[in-house]
Structure 1
């Protein structure tokens, strides 16, 4: 590849999609990095993400139960 001057590309590799607000307060760690849980629904955690598709963007939001390790929402 080097002899032919061919190289791989990564589309939007340098594009930054999230810019944090420097004046925003930090969110507290409410579970203190303790992911153990004795009973269901006592500790729920969530996450969001997005993926590019040919039709645009698809957004995903998930809520997990730390006791059962199941997606609940």
Structure 2
């Protein structure tokens, strides 16, 4: 019976060490994932800003043409 209790203690200690190692691995993966998402978020913000800047330039160009009487009339 004593050997069974010793075996159980060893298995519990081994299990605790495995769980602890997995917890560390999970924390590292979460940190890595967060860093990757932050990089992706920054990239998306830059792309969005660039897109909005280009669209504003197009809108400004359209407004300029309209004010000169060259836009919005359609084909004849």
TM-score by length of 1: 0.20
Highest CA radius of gyration, 1 or 2? Answer: 2
Normalized per residue, the structure richer in helix is 2
Q: Which structure: greater strand fraction?
A: 1
Question: What is the TM-score with the length of structure 2 in the denominator?
Answer: 0.19
Structure with the bigger RCO (C-alpha within 8 Å, sep 6+) is 1
